[in-house]
Amino acid sequence: MAIETLSIAFDADVAEEARQRAGSHGLSRFVNAAVRQYLQAIRLQELEEELAVEYGPIPDEIKQQAAVVEWPS
């Protein structure tokens, strides 16, 4: 997989906590994983919206069932 180096800016408190939580694994790896997870959440939200247009909204009963499932992290 190709790697691209970026220069990005963070709020100081966010940067400090990210460094602390990244620990020995490295800040780049930590930030990459966080952005990957966020992008996946956006794609899933977009898919849900597309499916709602095609098939209607997800019934509340199904949302409640999904809310109690222990999802892998």
42-58: per-residue pLDDT in tens? 999 999 999 999 999 99
Residue 53 inside a domain? The answer is yes
Residue 50 inside a domain? The answer is yes
**CB contact set of 21 (below 8 Å; sequence gap of 6+):** 30
Q: What is the pLDDT averaged over residues 20-37? A: 96
- Write down the pLDDT at residue 38: 97
48 contacts 58 by C-beta, under 8 angstroms? yes
Residue 54 inside a domain? The answer is yes
Which amino acid is residue 15, in one-letter code?
A: A
Tracing tokens 């999904």 back to the chain, one arrives at 66
Residue 39 inside a domain? The answer is yes
Q: How confident is the model at residue 28 (pLDDT cuts 50, 70, 90)?
A: very high
Residue 2 inside a domain? The answer is no
- Write down the pLDDT at residue 69: 93
Structurally, the chain folds into a number of domains equal to 1
Predicted confidence (pLDDT) at residue 60 exceeds the cutoff of 80: yes
Q: What's the domain range around 51?
A: 12-67
Q: Where are the alpha helices (DSSP H) in 4-70?
A: 12-22, 27-55, 60-67
Residue 47 inside a domain? The answer is yes
